[in-house]
Amino acid sequence: MLKEDIIALKKSKNAVILAHYYQDSQIQDVADYVGDSLELSRIAAKVDADIIIFCGVNFMAETAKILAPSKKVLLPVKEAKCPMAMMVTAEKLKAYKLAHPDRIVICYVNSYADVKALSDVCVTSSNAEKIIKSYKNQKILYIPDKNLGLYLKDKYQLDIDVWPGFCCIHNNLRIEDVIQMKEKHPNALVLIHPESPLEVLKLADYVGSTKGIVDFATKSENKDFIIGTEEGILHPLKKLNPHKSFYLLNQGLTCFDMKLTRLEDVYTALLDETFEIIVPENIRIKAYESLKKMLEMS
Ligand code: SF4
């Protein structure tokens, strides 16, 4: 019933619902578009709608607002925040830049607008490898995810300084998790998100973004997969591959903030048009430049 109410209200207000792969399955099923940060950024920039309901965490809704300033962007749960994005502040980044003016600042999309505004280019886990590689002869600062930065530093021998931030979910993955799961499922391929520690990534059969993992598993002829990313991904994986089996790498792969959004919150957000994302225009313009560069380089 609630689902039908949401669909009717969405139509009457010319709204679209964007949902990240890590959202609850009920939210994914009511969304117009489900994707990872890169896909959702692209959609936000071009979608024909007056209102975007962003089911995810606040930096994602903020990114949508930066890319689509004329649209009203709403985050159904005000408290949904990514802990990693809070690990870098504009003040600390300004201080770093003063001390290291020769470093190109490459900023993971999991960050706030004022941090993006101080950066040279943004990346997501889908395009980080391609974009960072294109700066391989320069000195780089990568913020705020140390794990993705260390993974690419190791893979391409880059001169890259990494900010000490991390995702509280992926950073907990351990070598023992891979060993135990491989013992239980010896024929399974191990697919892991690059926000995980380097020593764990070195044991993976495939390292890639959430979308990359979905595509890899869908195209693969293998039948079993061990999944090292947030459990919300199991929903699209099972929908697309009903005859394949997926096992989470460990049982702690649930992002608390991503799971705050309920159907009731989506309905209320549509009805009352809460909670609107506002980005000051002087910051938005600068942050837009680093996101635009990312979209051009992807
Ligand atoms: S899964 Fe990790 S990076 Fe993604 S929103 Fe949650 S804490 Fe942030």
Q: What is the DSSP letter of 61?
A: H
| CB atoms inside a 10 Å sphere around CB 11 | 9
Please name each of the domains of the chain with its CATH number.
Answer: 2-81+258-278 (3.40.50.10800), 85-162 (3.40.50.10800), 170-248 (3.40.50.10800)
Q: What is the DSSP letter of 165?
A: B
Q: In what order do the strands lie in the sheet with 15-20?
A: 33-35, 15-20, 51-55, 72-74
Q: In what order do the strands lie in the sheet with 189-192?
A: 206-207, 189-192, 224-228, 245-248
Q: Which two tokens stand for residue 101?
A: 């003016």
Task: Tell me whether residue 186 is exposed, middle or buried, using C-beta atoms within 10 angstroms of its C-beta: 0 to 12, 13 to 18, 19 or more.
Answer: exposed
**Residues 140, 156 contacting (CB under 8 angstroms):** no
The whole-number pLDDT of residue 184 equals 98
pTM: 0.97
* Beta strand ranges found along 21-133 (DSSP E): 33-35, 51-55, 72-74, 104-108, 121-123
In the three-class reduction of DSSP (H, G, I as helix; E, B as strand; rest coil), residue 64 is classed as helix
Ligand 1 pocket, mutate which of 55, 110, 193, 227 (most atoms under 8 A from CB) = 110
The whole-number pLDDT of residue 259 equals 98
Ligand 1 pocket, mutate which of 58, 172, 255 (most atoms under 8 A from CB) = 255
Ligand 1, atom 8, lies closest to the CA of: 82
The whole-number pLDDT of residue 1 equals 84
* Residue 142 host element (H or E): strand 140-143
- Along the chain (298 residues), what's the average pLDDT of each consecutive run of 10 residues? 95 98 97 94 93 97 96 97 98 98 98 98 96 95 98 97 98 98 98 98 98 98 98 98 98 98 98 98 98 95
